[in-house]
């Protein structure tokens, strides 16, 4: 039973869970009143709650979903000013009919603008277009003392570099001003190419580095020479066509399934069937943009398929030179441990952008999903060691268990980040379960 006035909240992985007092101020004045309340010692901002682990969990949580009144597009320049509580899907419905498009999209349309900035999210085009915050012109932020400030690449640049990717620890993002990209059609032209093994996947991603969007799905259960076989998906915006945003509400997973449904056997069947099916339809396809960018949104609440124990996504990035060997080592270790990942996604990444806690770095990123079970945690500790040995790091937006040591080794700018945080939030009012765990706001900080 939860304490009165508190609610059980969690991220997309449904692990961990925390009891929190959740408020949802509807405007800036109510938000300031929340922050100034004597009873509020510490809190963290929350958008749509789609980070996988505990980055939006704390005893006191302030939702920014009530902040949704601003969405102004300059149709001549493609500059969008929008409130942090709006979702990317809501933004798409306003801008696509006018011929504009977000420069970066994640795998779900439900992510909020505040969450996109705070995690400096990346899409299937990072190798060409960088991450979300590379296209942010200005942020409006409420600091811990209630002051509203603006920052951007040349206005309070240090605060900007700490806030982009800063996981809500510098303040509450109220609005973002964003440079959109022009489109002339809302249809995508997609191509798929099968790859017989991991080396071929890497080769295809390299050969097609000029493709606007590229991503590889890997069959992480294939062993031996077929290890890392997969399908490389490439896509471009169609030139000339219709501009419309089709919202497709998908089926909902009605209840949390018994976790045992996703076992090595069922994963193997799924992976083989998917490989054969994609192989069969390899070639050129015209797809509606929402179907292309957000295929999983068609199965709402799909996270319930992992059962009541929830699941973890393990996403890391490795520099290009060491990446191939590192990713092969990770896949072998996962296979030797008898674990399987339902979704295994490999992307080529472009250069890092100088934001102090942003995840992307030149090389390759791999994301693996695992059902939560006790035996998973020692395996993930082993994977951490491989990632660090190869000069990589783990994505904070997906993390639920990384240690302080692993975080600090992977994010060498953490001390510069902390110095800025201490200037704008000296009493550490903004802190999450994650920031305490990784030593940014905990006792050791
Ligand atoms: C199906 C799926 C696919 C995904 N695909 C991708 C992908 O392709 N690329 C990628 O990069 N990520 C991806 N993600 C992760 C997701 O984009 C990030 O976790 C994002 O931060 C979630 O946004 P949110 O609004 O749900 O934020 P939340 O999960 O609520 O919060 C995430 C972080 O943002 C902070 N935050 C949220 N709002 C504010 C605010 N107004 N002010 C200050 N801080 C704030 C929180 O404190 C927290 O630290 C995916 C997630 C899912 C579930």
Picking from 125, 158, 183, the residue at the C-terminal end of a domain is 183
Same domain as 234, residue 312: yes
The residue whose two tokens read 């080592």 is 329
Pick the last residue of a domain from 388, 403, 418: 403
What pLDDT does residue 3 have? 73
As given in the structure block, the two tokens for residue 318 are 């490795």
What are phi and psi for residue 394, nearest 5 degrees? -105, 145
Index of the ligand 1 atom closest to the CA of residue 174: 41
Q: Where are the alpha helices (DSSP H) in 235-375?
A: 264-280, 289-293, 320-336
Whether residues 373 and 348 share a domain: the answer is: yes
- Count Cβ atoms below 10 Å from residue 61 Cβ, excluding itself: 22
CB atoms under 10 Å from CB of 51, counted, come to 30
Residues with CB under 6 A from ligand 1: 11-12, 44-51, 55-56, 64, 84, 106-108, 111-112, 114-115, 118-119, 121-123, 167-168, 172-173, 296, 397, 432
Name the closest-CA residue to atom 48, ligand 1: 56
Query: Going by CA atoms, what residue is nearest to atom 19 of ligand 1?
Result: 51
**Using CA positions, which residue lies closest to atom 44 of ligand 1?**
168
Is 272 within the bounds of a domain? yes
DSSP for residue 223: -
Q: For residue 413, what pLDDT is reported?
A: 98
* 80 & 226 share domain: no
Structure-block tokens of residue 187:
């249809």
Please indicate, yes or no, if residue 295 is contained in any of the structural domains.
Answer: yes
- Counting ligand 1 atoms within 8 A of each CB, the residue from 69, 102, 111 with the most, and so the one to mutate, is 111
- Name the residue of 90, 121, 313, 400 whose CB sits within 8 Å of the most ligand 1 atoms, as the mutation to test its pocket: 121
Residue 164: strand, helix, or coil? coil
What distance lies between CA 229 and its chain's CA centroid? 24
- Co-location of 211 and 352 in the same domain: yes
Task: Evaluate whether residue 5 is within a structural domain.
Answer: no
Position 59 in a domain: no
Determine, yes or no, domain membership for 358: yes
Q: What is the pLDDT along the chain (445 residues), one digit of tens a residue?
A: 677 789 999 999 999 999 999 999 999 999 999 998 877 789 999 999 999 999 999 999 999 999 999 999 999 999 999 999 999 999 999 999 999 999 999 999 999 999 999 999 999 999 999 999 999 999 999 999 999 999 999 999 999 999 999 999 999 999 999 999 999 999 999 999 999 999 999 999 999 999 999 999 998 787 788 888 999 999 999 999 899 887 766 666 666 766 666 666 666 666 666 666 665 566 778 989 998 999 888 888 888 888 888 999 999 999 998 999 999 999 999 988 988 887 799 999 999 999 999 999 999 999 999 999 999 999 999 999 999 999 999 999 999 999 999 999 999 999 999 999 999 999 999 999 999 999 999 755 5
Q: 416 C-alpha vs ligand 1 centroid, how far in Å?
A: 23
Q: Do 141 and 195 belong to one domain?
A: no
Residue nearest to atom 8 of ligand 1 (CA): 106
Q: Distance, CA 203 to ligand 1 centroid (Å)?
A: 30
Is residue 259 one of the residues assigned to a domain?
yes
88 and 195, same domain (yes or no) = no
Q: Which domain holds residue 299?
A: 187-403
Q: Alpha-carbon distance 399 to 129, whole Å?
A: 24
> What is the best residue among 15, 50, 310 to mutate for testing ligand 1's pocket, by most ligand atoms within 8 Å of CB?
50
Determine the angle formed by the axes of helices 198-207 and 320-336, rounding to 10 degrees. 150
* 157 & 240 share domain: no
Q: Whose CA is nearest to atom 11 of ligand 1?
A: 121
CATH of the domain at 162: 3.30.465.10
Residue having the nearest C-alpha atom to atom 6 of ligand 1:
106
CATH number of the domain where residue 392 is located: 3.30.70.2520
Gap from CA of 241 to ligand 1 centroid (Å):
32
Q: What is the model's pLDDT at position 182? A: 98
Q: Tell me how far the alpha carbon of residue 13 lies from the centroid of ligand 1, in angstroms.
A: 12
For the chain, the residue count is 445
Judge if 218 and 173 occupy the same domain.
Answer: no
Nearest atom within ligand 1 for CA of residue 67: 41
Q: How far is CA 350 from CA 58, 152, 280, 290, 360, in A?
A: 33, 22, 31, 24, 8
Ligand 1 atom with minimal separation from the 113 CA: 25
Task: List the residue whose alpha carbon is closest to atom 28 of ligand 1.
Answer: 49
Q: Are strands 187-195 and 283-288 parallel, antiparallel or unpaired?
A: antiparallel
Same domain? 230 vs 88:
no
Measured from the Cα of 55, ligand 1's closest atom is: 49
Whole-number pLDDT of residue 5:
83
β-strand pairing of 7-10 with 17-23: antiparallel
Within a domain: residue 61?
A: no
Q: What is the pLDDT of residue 289?
A: 92
Atom of ligand 1 nearest to the CA of 168: 44
Question: Three-state SS for 138?
Answer: strand
Work out which ligand 1 atom sits closest to the CA atom of 124. Answer: 8
Ligand 1 mean position to 74 CA, how many Å?
A: 26
Give me ligand 1 centre to Cα 395, in Å. Answer: 11
Domain count, the chain: 2
**Contact indicator for 119, 51 with CB cutoff of 8 Å:** yes
Q: Tens of pLDDT along 201-250?
A: 999 999 999 999 999 999 878 778 888 899 999 999 999 989 988 776 66
> Strand pairing partners for 288?
187
Same domain, 368 and 280: yes
Compute CA distances 69 → 91, 165, 175, whole Å.
12, 24, 10
38 lies in some domain: no
CA pair distance 123, 215, nearest whole angstrom:
9
Q: Are 176 and 266 within one domain?
A: no
pLDDT reported for residue 226: 83
Does the CA dihedral 305-313-9-93 come out positive or negative?
A: negative
Question: Which of the listed residues 148, 167, 183 is the one where a domain comes to its end?
Answer: 183
162 touches 149 (CB < 8 A): no
Specify the ligand 1 atom closest to the Cα of 112: 25
360: closest CA among 412, 306, 319, 399?
A: 319
The answer to whether residues 174 and 247 belong to one domain is no
């Amino acid at each position: 039973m939860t304490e009165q006035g508190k609610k059980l909240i969690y991220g997309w992985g449904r692990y961990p869970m925390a009891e929190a007092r959740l408020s949802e101020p509807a405007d800036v004045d109510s938000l300031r009143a929340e922050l100034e309340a004597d009873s509020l010692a510490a809190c963290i901002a929350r958008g749509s709650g789609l980070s996988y682990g505990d980055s939006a969990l704390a005893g006191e949580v302030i939702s920014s979903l009530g902040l949704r009144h601003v969405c102004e597009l300059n149709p001549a320049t493609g500059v969008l000013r929008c409130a942090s509580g709006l979702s990317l899907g809501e933004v798409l419905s306003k801008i696509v009919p006018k011929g504009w498009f977000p420069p970066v999209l994640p795998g779900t349309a439900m992510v909020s603008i505040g969450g996109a900035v705070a995690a400096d999210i990346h899409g299937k085009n990072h190798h060409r277009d960088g991450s979300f915050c590379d296209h942010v012109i200005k942020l409006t932020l409420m600091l811990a003392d209630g002051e509203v400030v603006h920052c951007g690449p040349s206005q309070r640049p240090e605060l900007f570099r700490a806030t982009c990717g800063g996981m809500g620890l510098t303040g509450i993002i109220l609005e973002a001003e964003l440079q959109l990209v022009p489109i002339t059609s809302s249809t995508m032209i997609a191509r798929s190419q099968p790859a017989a093994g991991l080396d071929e996947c890497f080769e295809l991603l390299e050969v097609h580095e000029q493709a606007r969007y590229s991503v590889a799905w890997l069959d992480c259960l294939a062993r031996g020479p077929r290890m890392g076989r997969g399908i490389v998906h490439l896509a471009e915006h169609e030139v000339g066509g219709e501009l419309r945003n089709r919202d497709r509400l998908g089926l909902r997973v009605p209840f949390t399934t018994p976790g045992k449904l996703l076992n090595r056997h069922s994963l193997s069947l799924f992976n083989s069937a998917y490989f054969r099916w994609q192989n069969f339809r390899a070639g050129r396809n015209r797809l509606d943009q929402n179907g292309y960018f957000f295929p999983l949104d068609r199965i709402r609440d799909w996270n319930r398929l992992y059962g009541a124990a929830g699941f973890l996504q393990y996403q890391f990035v490795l520099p290009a030179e060491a990446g191939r060997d590192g990713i092969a080592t990770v896949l072998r270790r996962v296979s030797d441990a008898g674990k399987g990942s339902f979704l295994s996604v490999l992307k080529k990444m472009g250069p890092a952008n100088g934001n102090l806690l942003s995840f992307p770095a030149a090389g390759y990123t791999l994301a693996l999903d695992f059902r939560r079970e006790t035996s998973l945690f020692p395996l993930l500790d082993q994977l951490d060691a491989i990632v660090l040995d190869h000069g990589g790091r783990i994505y904070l937006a997906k993390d639920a268990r990384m240690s302080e040591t692993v975080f600090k080794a992977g994010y060498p700018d953490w001390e510069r980040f902390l110095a800025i945080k201490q200037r704008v939030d000296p009493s550490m009012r903004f802190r999450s379960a994650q920031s305490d765990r990784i030593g940014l706001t905990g006792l050791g900080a």
